[in-house]
């Protein structure tokens, strides 16, 4: 996660685009983009928008992969995420409760997700990183 601001900065430079242009094309305020450049993690929707704009995977954008992988993110479905998350836990033979304790998540977060509340991007990154899976598997992707 610490790499996000640096990677975003590199992508902006590579694409020869200003914060004003990125604001206009992505609908994200330049003041917020400045915070992202300093390491603030965006919400899920903004993360997908930035990845789509720069034609890269979320794993690349957040420094979890060196491969850029041209992807297009359509949406984030919380219920699909829960299914994938629980399946990953099962394959790792660990309960949500133990996993949450291990990585510092609130144990009640699963109930919140099941009630329709989406996890934040930092939580998704933490989960993917600790389960050794790709962020992309949690998102609907169009090629």
Give tens-digit pLDDT for 42-51.
Answer: 999 999 999 9
Provide the whole-model pTM: 0.90
Average pLDDT score, the chain = 92
DSSP annotation of 30: H
Average pLDDT over residues 117-140: 92
Per-residue three-class SS string for 61-85:
HCCCCCCCCCCEEEECCHHHHHHHH
Q: Tens of pLDDT along 15-36? A: 999 999 999 999 999 999 999 9
- Element at 142 (helix H, strand E): strand 140-142
Residues 104-113: what's their mean pLDDT?
92
Say what the pLDDT of residue 143 is: 52
């Amino acid at each position: 996660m610490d790499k996000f601001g640096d990677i975003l900065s590199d992508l902006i430079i590579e694409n020869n685009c200003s914060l004003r242009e990125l604001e206009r094309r992505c609908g994200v305020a330049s003041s917020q983009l400045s915070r992202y450049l300093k390491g603030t993690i965006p919400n899920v929707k903004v993360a997908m928008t930035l990845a789509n704009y720069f034609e890269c995977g979320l794993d690349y954008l957040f420094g979890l992969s060196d491969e850029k992988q041209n992807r297009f993110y359509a949406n984030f479905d919380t219920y699909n995420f829960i299914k994938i998350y629980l399946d990953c836990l099962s394959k790792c033979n660990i309960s949500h409760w133990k996993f949450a304790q291990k990585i510092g998540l609130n144990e009640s977060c699963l109930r919140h997700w099941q009630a329709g509340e989406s996890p934040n991007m930092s939580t998704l990154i933490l989960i993917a990183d600790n389960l050794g899976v790709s962020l992309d598997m949690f998102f609907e992707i169009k090629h």
